[in-house]
Structure 1
Amino acid sequence: MGSMGLLGAPYQGYGCAGTSTVGYGLIAREVERVDSGYRSTMSVQTSLVIGPIYNYGSAEQKEKYIPELASGKKIGCFGLTEPNHGSNPGGMETKAV
């Protein structure tokens, strides 16, 4: 997916395709037609991993992480569950330092 420009598609620069959000939605729909697992992987990498770095990261963080995430050389992750809250991201207590 990275070599096709599907990871980070709606973002400009850093090796991302720079499509519109509508274009990204159409890409996601077509990938979903093949396999929902692929679409989920693409969506997590794009929206939950690259998105926060793109929107809130420093210039240094963007340069360091986004190109390899967009190419698929690195795969990101996110926290969803904790012992006291189950799958409730709004109740998470973990703090990143």
Structure 2
Amino acid sequence: MLDAFRAEQTDPMIFRTMGELGRFHLTAPKTYGPKELNYVKCGLVARQVERVDSGYRSTMSGQSSRIMEPINEFGSDALKQKYLPCLTKGERIPYWRFWRC
């Protein structure tokens, strides 16, 4: 992360690693996510990521709150099964596309 920050670049592999560590959508039910934490614990995780680079924290929390949370709350079971597993693992980062349209 520090090398990417210094070079002003984003390494997509960081997000896969974050997914493997369970950093995406920490409040998701265990069916779709590795944790199911409360919002205070999610905030503490975000704070630690932000200590290194706020851009990664923004992507992590943005993907969770603007992409994954609405799917989890309002999506059909088919939609949840299609998208939440790959989003939780960091395999897809639609949050980037959301801001790059």
Q: How far, CA to CA, are the matches of 1:73 and 1:9 in structure 2?
A: 16
Q: How far, CA to CA, are the matches of 2:54 and 2:87 in structure 1?
A: 20
1:79 is displaced (CA, Å) by 4.6
- 2:58 equivalent to 1:29: no
Size of the aligned set, in residue pairs, is 82
Aligned Cα root-mean-square deviation (Å) = 1.8
1:45 is displaced (CA, Å) by 1.1
- 2:57 equivalent to 1:39: yes
TM-score (ref. length: structure 2): 0.73
Give the partner amino acid of 1:4: L
Aligned match of 2:11: none
TM-score (ref. length: structure 1): 0.76
Q: How far, CA to CA, are the matches of 1:63 and 1:22 in structure 2?
A: 26
Cα shift readout 1:7-41 (whole Å, capped 9, x = no counterpart)? 01111121342111111010011111111001001
Name whichever structure is richer in helix by fraction: 2
Q: How far, CA to CA, are the matches of 2:36 and 2:98 in structure 1?
A: 27
1:15 to 33, 55, 60: 33
Aligned match of 1:86: none
1:52 is displaced (CA, Å) by 0.6
Cα shift readout 1:54-73 (whole Å, capped 9, x = no counterpart)? 01100110010000000011
Give the partner amino acid of 2:89: S
CA contact (8 A) 2:26 2:33 kept: no
Taking only the aligned residue pairs, the percentage that are identical comes to 44
- Which is greater in Rg? 1
Q: How far, CA to CA, are the matches of 1:55 and 1:18 in structure 2?
A: 14
Q: How far, CA to CA, are the matches of 2:49 and 2:19 in structure 1?
A: 13
